[in-house]
Amino acid sequence: MGAYILRRLLLMVPTLLGILAISFVVIQFAPGGPVEQVIAQLQGTGGGAADRLGGGGGDFQAQSSGESSGYRGAQGLDPAFIARLEAQFGFDKPPLERFGLMVWNFLRFDFGESYFRSISVIDLIIEKLPVSISLGLWITLLSYAISIPLGIRKALKEGSSFDTWTSAIIIVAYAIPGFLFAVLLIVLFAGGSFLDWFPLRGLTSDNWAQLSWPERILDYFWHLTLPLIALSLSAFATTTLLTKNSFLDEIRKQYVTTARAKGLTERRVLYGHVFRNAMLIIVAGFPGAFISAFFTGALLIETIFSLDGLGLLGFESIYRRDYPVVFATLYIFSLLGLITTLISDLTYTWIDPRIDFERREV
């Protein structure tokens, strides 16, 4: 197993390099980079952006050299100021040198500072983590806690009216977009047009610091209730059907028939034999499910419920061309995804020792 883990870890290096390289090349051809963003701010709002970068925006904006800098909308700005902008963002270096420097810094987990926020990238990510952790952790636990018992019940009652109407509910729930259901929840329960039972913004109330610990816990879950309900639809449906199909597949195997022929009770057959094998794919997929919920499912939900997490941060960074944040989040998410995949594979061997990846080629 040690050799398998080592091979997988070594394969992560070219995989990460490939992801970063492809993204870096795409970025080179994307219009509206950070220099263009500052130029647009100068043309639209005066010298505020230039002042933030240490220049006298009004002076530069007033100067007109008549020379073209190669940037759209840069006419009327001093080429020396454009050169300073390029140096400020690191674009005065050749692309290959910039890529190599970025990879070297990322290997040391040095992600630099945000272009448009006066904060380091790592501090910015840490600042947004509580929201994403809350959503990812609780939605994963909630979906597993409900979906596994429901999936087992549906497998045992296959073809019954219970299986039919629960399947209909699950399919409808899966088809409803989470963000649309979130808007409905706000209208119904967050002071939209009917009831005003739940808050609309943030993870905690303004007076959270003054609350006792029991009150803080209640306040925390009070704020999480509607976002979790909105996010749980698709995760709930997927895990339930996966559990049901996994149990059905195991129940129809020969070893179940043999166990029943030996006189074992149905409960012993189900939970002593079927459960362990059927749950292999469910439990092994838990790390991946958590990471998926942690990073990918919350953009619109965060926006609707005013939750400032990693999903919203990534979207805003791409929109504003804040490349240090974009590449840092891409690098961290990719690294965590690769590690989670490895953990999922190792979980298979922990649940079922008969699985041996050492005998298989990577």
Boundaries of domain holding 46: 32-93
- Spatial CB neighbours of 47, under 8 Å, sequence gap ≥ 6: 55, 56, 57, 58, 59, 60, 61
The residue among 76, 93, 110 that closes a domain is 93
Residues 130/203, Cβ–Cβ less than 8 Å: yes
With respect to residue 104, please indicate whether it lies within any of the assigned structural domains.
Answer: no
With respect to residue 107, please indicate whether it lies within any of the assigned structural domains.
Answer: no
Residues 137 and 199 in one domain: yes
Interatomic CA distance for residues 231 and 143, integer angstroms: 10
Residues 178 and 316 in one domain: yes
In the prediction, which pLDDT does 129 show?
A: 82
Residues 42 and 175 in one domain: no
Q: What is the pLDDT along the chain (362 residues), one digit of tens a residue?
A: 678 788 888 888 999 999 999 988 888 777 777 777 777 776 664 444 444 444 444 343 434 343 445 565 555 566 777 777 777 777 778 888 889 998 999 988 888 888 878 788 999 888 888 888 888 888 888 888 888 889 888 988 888 999 999 999 888 888 888 778 888 888 888 876 778 888 877 788 888 888 888 888 898 888 888 888 888 777 778 788 888 888 888 888 888 888 888 888 878 888 777 877 777 777 766 766 666 666 555 677 777 887 888 877 877 888 888 888 888 888 888 888 888 878 877 777 776 666 666 665 44
Residues 79 and 162 in one domain: no
Six-digit token string for 57: 């925006």
With respect to residue 298, please indicate whether it lies within any of the assigned structural domains.
Answer: yes
The residue among 78, 93, 108 that closes a domain is 93
Interatomic CA distance for residues 304 and 135, integer angstroms: 14
Residues 161 and 246 in one domain: yes
Residues 243 and 351 in one domain: yes
Q: What CATH number should be reported for the domain holding residue 230?
A: 1.10.3720.10
In the prediction, which pLDDT does 233 show?
A: 76
Looking at the DSSP bridge assignments, the partners of residue 113 are 120
Side chain identity, residue 173: A
- Spatial CB neighbours of 208, under 8 Å, sequence gap ≥ 6: 216, 219
The residue among 45, 73, 93 that closes a domain is 93
With respect to residue 101, please indicate whether it lies within any of the assigned structural domains.
Answer: no
Residues 46 and 165 in one domain: no
With respect to residue 19, please indicate whether it lies within any of the assigned structural domains.
Answer: no
Residues 76 and 145 in one domain: no
DSSP string, 88-151: HHTTTS-HHHHHHHHHHHHHTT---B-SSSSSBHHHHHHHHHHHHHHHHHHHHHHHHHHHHHHH
Interatomic CA distance for residues 211 and 187, integer angstroms: 28
Residues 71 and 161 in one domain: no
HSE-CB at 328 with a 13 A cutoff on CA atoms is 25
With respect to residue 12, please indicate whether it lies within any of the assigned structural domains.
Answer: no
With respect to residue 212, please indicate whether it lies within any of the assigned structural domains.
Answer: yes
Side chain identity, residue 1: M
Residues 180 and 69 in one domain: no
In the prediction, which pLDDT does 237 show?
A: 80
The number of folded domains in the chain is 2
Residues 152/243, Cβ–Cβ less than 8 Å: yes
In the prediction, which pLDDT does 18 show?
A: 92
What is the rounded (10 degree) CA torsion for 298, 300, 304, 309?
Answer: 40
Residues 139 and 288 in one domain: yes
Task: Tell me, yes or no, if the pTM score tops 0.85.
Answer: no
Residues 127 and 74 in one domain: no
With respect to residue 209, please indicate whether it lies within any of the assigned structural domains.
Answer: yes
In the prediction, which pLDDT does 56 show?
A: 40
